[in-house]
A = this chain, B = another copy of it.
Amino acid sequence: MLLAVDAMGGDNAPAEICRGAVAACERFPDLEVALVGLKPRIEPLIAETFSSATSRIHVVHAEEVISMDELPSVAIRKKRCSSLRIAMEMVRSGEAQGCISAGNTGAIVAGGVLVVGRIPGIDRPGLGVPLPAIDRVRMLIDVGATVRSKPLNLVQFALMGGLYMKHIFGVAEPKVALLANGEEDIKGDEAIAQARELLRQGPFPFIGYVEGKDIPIGPADVVACDGFTGNILLKLMEGLGTAVYSLLREEMGQRVLPKVGMLFMLPMLKELWTRFDYESYGGTPLLGVRGAVIKAHGRSKAPAIASALGVARDFVLKRGVELISQEITQGGM
């Protein structure tokens, strides 16, 4: 299986991206990777790994790079020789079965629609992030592919999320829900209410509206919302993590006893940290496009990139695109 990697996207590109690709090839013997980007920069990075897996790494030259602050839809249209666009062209042509990028999220979404193309019947793709929670992983979808959503979009997000949790995460009967400002049917707005009625007829157990408190711990396996809300929620969670960490560090700096206490707690906290670490989940799938398109976190280092490639490989092996295509055709949604 060949997967294309945007070697130039992300805060740690291209070094960590290249190392991650090599690590993934070492882990998965069936994997070949096309590293797309500036050949003169990528080749030495691959050479210095001294890994035998590099025989399954192919470097594809791309002149241009889309930066984090470019206007996504313009960049993807105009920069035809960018690493992201070329990686996506490889998916469209069928040469690669999927691609990953830690670059500009908006450009990945725009490229997913304009270059890779939507699955027939899908109105808009959705970015679904698997959130590590206390008891199990939940998917929050959409976290930023769209801004505002029609009822059809919310329904399709819930369905695609349900399929992902079922086939990729192995949840037998994923429970889907819509995010709202209260559990009662009178909450939400018109679009959400219409989506609710459609989801009641859907293939997955539908538990209605859930609230913000149900994201970290609650009854749903899939929580569907518009990308505006999902994006703000995801960033709030990231911000809270950073804020609590810096607060603890600041407080600890001035005292002795808490530091001693922290030494005793460190092993437990480290274990908890790995449970919540996005690097071990590694990627946010853009669901609804004709290929495995995985967005890795902008701050990804090699382990997260390897993990994102694992996610893309899994999606291809489990026929993610075909599953969504079938459901949309059969369910008529």
Contact = CB atoms under 8 A, between A and B. Distances in A.
A94 interface: no
Interface in A255-288: 255, 257-258, 260-265, 267-268, 272
Nearest to A105: B182
A247 interface: yes
A1 interface: no
A113 interface: no
B268 A264 contact: no
Interface stretch (A8-16, A45-53, A211-219, A299-307): A211-219
A213 B235 contact: yes
Contact of A236 (B212, B231, B255): B212
A232 interface: yes
Given A134-B243, A243-B217, A258-B268, A234 B263 contact: no
A172 interface: no
A251 B270 CA distance: 12
Interface string A223-258: 001011101111111111011001100011001011
A77 interface: no
A267 B267 CA distance: 21
Contacts of A258: 264-265, 267-268
A16 B209 CA distance: 32
Nearest to A235: B212
Contacts of A229: 228-229, 232
A239 B215 contact: yes
Nearest to A251: B268
A217 B242 contact: yes
Given A211-B239, A217-B242, 11 more contacts: A71-B186, A181-B232, A212-B236, A214-B239, A215-B239, A216-B240, A216-B243, A225-B232, A232-B233, A258-B265, A262-B265
